[in-house]
Amino acid sequence: MTSKTLLGRLYAAVGTETAPALRRQIVRVAVYAVLQGVTFVLMVPALRALLRHDTGTAWAWIGVMTVSAAATLVARHLQSMGGFRVGMATINGLHHRLGDHLATLPLGWFSADRTGRLTRLIGQGAKDVSGIIAHLLEPLLTGTLTPLVVVAGVFVFDWRIGLTLLICAPVLYAVHRWTTRLAERVDDRLEETASEANGRVVEFARAQPVLRASGPGGPGLVLLDDALEEQDRATRRRARADAPARMLFGLTVQLGVAAALVTGTAHLLGGGDPATTIATLVLVVRFAEPVTAIAGLAGTFRSSRAALAGVTGVLDARPLPEPDRTAEEAPARTPGSAVAVELRDVSFGYAPDRTVLDGVTFTAEAGTTVALVGASGSGKTTVTRLVARFFDVGSGSVHIGGDDVRDLTTDELAGMLAMVFQDVYLFDGTIRENIRVARPDAGEEEVERVARLARVDDIVTRLPDGWDTRVGEGGAALSGGERQRVSLARALLKDAPVVLLDEATASLDAENQAAIQRALADLSGRSTLLVVAHRLETITTADRIVVLGDGRVAESGTHEELMALNGRYAAFWRERNRSLGWRLATAEEVGAS
Ligand SMILES: Nc1ncnc2c1ncn2[C@@H]1O[C@H](COP(=O)(O)OP(=O)(O)OP(=O)(O)O)[C@@H](O)[C@H]1O
């Protein structure tokens, strides 16, 4: 990445709030870089006068140089303080910008791997971006502006040496670009292998029960080993690529200096003024210092580039289009009353070449319970995600209360829905706080009522500090079924017009089954319930069953109607009953023995 695109991206990333402060900081650093160059240049007339034994003129120039050096020091102090200040403001600003932007992104954007990368981005990434301002701006500008001022000064004193340096500049730039590109290629590979290795380590830790069952040296360990070895190889390749790149750049700079020396010496031998030439050549050496410093920072440049790319990648993610109207123009609605959910000829695929839903049409009338049934992968969960607008449909439309979900703002849609999905997230707070998230102004009795209905009170009595027990990050202190019960309590408290429920696929214990049943009974009538149903009880008691197959609605009706049809649903039902019967029989046998 060139300095220009780095700065351009930096501007875009920090946003309009921090951009003016960043601009001022760039000016501060630029003033410092130019002053530093001017101080270097002032050395030439001072040195020339000394070489000519003209002490009076020399002292005058040394005086001017001292003033310039003092100004450089002040500028340096101001830019370094500014760098720190603007860097801190950038971290804060980026956290807010990322937070605000994330809140507008479709829920479907938050896949597991993205969420993993986001954690790193918000912590380390924001720091790395602010590091560009605090630590990279200075070498970047002093590595370009200071040498430019030096070259201009050299021109004033000896145009031949100046011209030699000017000819070297594009060569230097080309070599810098070339070596950077080479190193970037190795870097990309290193980044890839590091991500792969990180993923494998997490997988290795998470999949311990499975891996242990497959014995030592099992496939998990082999995969992790391979990933770590690949990362190791990439690290060594980078070290091998880095050193020659840096050496090549340093060599080019030295060649430039040597060319200037040769030009100067030739001029001297041809009868040029020795004082001016020698003083100018001393200045040339000054030209090399900041330029060479840039090469030493190549690695930092590249990691900053990666951090910036990560941040801009998130900030560039497109939010779902919001309707172009004010809150007052929102469709009128009776609060708390159930509304119909309708899918009209909906087609959708996660990837363009793979259709998951292909012309799905059905209606869940207001206040009814609709069970979505179908083979694994038939798109049941996808239907609920489209209703909640995790993604927008490919074609067709989804309506809630008669309105296309795309015509509702994110807040309006969120206000109408309660979601009880399998991957329930609980905040690291108490259970009470976790339920209350659904409706912060709910009274104490109401919270306790819904907790009883979802049988959260049973969980509470088992916990060491009862209601005040913290549940750990993500609800780690609770089992999956218990987390879902807290989530059910949230849905009950929210009393949303539409409730989307993804029943656990794993067979539930009696307590969790009872919790779901009571919650569903409480919600039915008051809310429209769309349930990805796995339990036979939920399915048979639903007002309507929608059977998905081959991306379409294969059958739809009540349990009795579908059984009479003797099609896909009847086959599914017989199959489920058989497996359930087998399980019950086994349980009885176990009990009898
Ligand atoms: N985030 C995703 N990205 C890409 N493909 C996905 C994603 N989520 C689901 N799919 C694919 O879409 C298809 C439908 O998945 P969906 O989860 O809706 O099925 P389901 O009927 O709910 O399955 P199950 O009963 O096993 O939960 C599957 O082939 C699945 O692999």
ipTM: 0.96
When pLDDT is cut at 50, 70 and 90, the band that residue 590 belongs to is very low
The percent of residues in the chain predicted with pLDDT above 70, rounded, is 88
- Asked whether residue 22 is domain-assigned, the answer is yes
The residues with which 372 forms a beta bridge, in sequence order, are 532, 546
Question: What does the block give as tokens for 558?
Answer: 């009540």
CA distance 281 to 261: 7
- Comparing C-alpha atoms, which of 135, 116, 118 is closest to residue 303? 135
Whose alpha carbon is nearest atom 29 of ligand 1?
Answer: 377
Together in a domain, 66 and 206: yes
Whose alpha carbon is nearest atom 5 of ligand 1?
Answer: 350
Q: Which of 154-168, 179-193, 462-476 has the highest mean pLDDT?
A: 154-168
Question: What does the block give as tokens for 333?
Answer: 């609605």
Together in a domain, 162 and 258: yes
Task: Return the best residue to mutate from 111, 356, 372, 534 for the ligand 1 pocket (most ligand atoms within 8 A of CB).
Answer: 356
Together in a domain, 281 and 370: no
165-169, 273-277, 301-305, 353-357: which range is least confident on average? 301-305
Report DSSP state, residue 422. S
Across the chain, what does the average pLDDT equal? 83
- Asked whether residue 7 is domain-assigned, the answer is yes
Together in a domain, 381 and 282: no
Contacts of 220 (CB under 8 A, 6+ apart): 203, 204, 207, 210, 211, 214
Say how many Å lie between the CA of residue 350 and the centre of ligand 1: 9
CB 153 within 8 A of CB 34: no
Classify strands 341-348 and 357-364 as parallel, antiparallel or unpaired. antiparallel
Residue type, 562: L
- Comparing C-alpha atoms, which of 238, 247, 253, 234 is closest to residue 302? 238
* Residue 350, ligand 1, Cβ within 6 A: yes
Out of 283, 300, 316, pick the residue that ends a domain: 316
Residue 116: per-residue pLDDT: 65
The kind and range of the H/E element at 342 are: strand 341-348
SS3 454: coil
Together in a domain, 299 and 372: no
Helices (H), 207-218: 208-213
**Once rounded to an integer, what is the mean pLDDT over residues 36-46?**
91
- Comparing C-alpha atoms, which of 322, 374, 372 is closest to residue 343? 372
Output the domain CATH number for residue 302: 1.20.1560.10
Q: Which of 107-116, 266-275, 543-552 has the highest mean pLDDT?
A: 543-552
Together in a domain, 295 and 370: no
When pLDDT is cut at 50, 70 and 90, the band that residue 217 belongs to is low
- Asked whether residue 581 is domain-assigned, the answer is no
CA distance 111 to 137: 35
* Residue 195, ligand 1, Cβ within 6 A: no
Q: Return the axis-axis angle of helices 480-494 and 510-523, rounded to nearest 10°.
A: 10
Together in a domain, 265 and 376: no
- Does pLDDT of 342 surpass 90? yes
CA distance 304 to 306: 5
408 half-sphere exposure, CB direction, 13 A CA radius: 24
* Residue 376, ligand 1, Cβ within 6 A: yes
CB 283 within 8 A of CB 41: yes
Which domain covers residue 227, as residue numbers?
A: 3-316
Whose alpha carbon is nearest atom 31 of ligand 1?
Answer: 377
- Asked whether residue 590 is domain-assigned, the answer is no
Please give, one letter per residue, the 3-state secondary structure of 396-411: EEEEECCEEHHHCCHH
Determine how many CB atoms are found less than 10 A away from the CB of residue 512: 21
**Once rounded to an integer, what is the mean pLDDT over residues 567-580?**
82
Closest atom of ligand 1 to 349 CA is 12
Per-residue pLDDT tens over the stretch 445-487? 888 888 888 888 888 888 888 888 887 766 666 777 788 888 8
Determine how many CB atoms are found less than 10 A away from the CB of residue 560: 9
CA distance 18 to 346: 43
Output the domain CATH number for residue 405: 3.40.50.300
Whose alpha carbon is nearest atom 11 of ligand 1?
Answer: 377
Together in a domain, 303 and 441: no
- Does pLDDT of 188 surpass 60? yes
Together in a domain, 295 and 426: no
Number of domains in the chain: 2
Say how many Å lie between the CA of residue 209 and the centre of ligand 1: 25
CA distance 466 to 300: 50
Together in a domain, 69 and 162: yes
Whose alpha carbon is nearest atom 17 of ligand 1?
Answer: 381
Together in a domain, 446 and 303: no
Q: Please report, for the chain, how many H helices and E strands are present, in that order.
A: 21, 10
- Asked whether residue 593 is domain-assigned, the answer is no
* Residue 68, ligand 1, Cβ within 6 A: no
Say how many Å lie between the CA of residue 421 and the centre of ligand 1: 14
Residue 304: per-residue pLDDT: 80
* Residue 28, ligand 1, Cβ within 6 A: no
Please give, one letter per residue, the 3-state secondary structure of 475-520: HCCCCHHHHHHHHHHHHHHHCCCEEEEECCCCCCCHHHHHHHHHHH
SS3 548: strand
- Asked whether residue 343 is domain-assigned, the answer is no
* Residue 534, ligand 1, Cβ within 6 A: no
Residue 35: per-residue pLDDT: 96
- Does pLDDT of 406 surpass 80? yes
Phi, psi of 222 (to 5 degrees): -60, -45
Out of 253, 286, 316, pick the residue that ends a domain: 316
Per-residue pLDDT tens over the stretch 66-104? 999 999 999 999 999 999 999 999 988 888 888 888 878
487 half-sphere exposure, CB direction, 13 A CA radius: 28
- Asked whether residue 507 is domain-assigned, the answer is yes
CB 405 within 8 A of CB 344: no
When pLDDT is cut at 50, 70 and 90, the band that residue 586 belongs to is very low
Say how many Å lie between the CA of residue 380 and the centre of ligand 1: 8
Closest atom of ligand 1 to 111 CA is 1
Helices (H), 207-325: 208-213, 219-269, 274-296, 298-316
The kind and range of the H/E element at 529 are: strand 528-532
The residues with which 146 forms a beta bridge, in sequence order, are none
Together in a domain, 164 and 37: yes
- Asked whether residue 340 is domain-assigned, the answer is no
- Does pLDDT of 536 surpass 60? yes
Phi, psi of 541 (to 5 degrees): -85, -5
* Residue 97, ligand 1, Cβ within 6 A: no
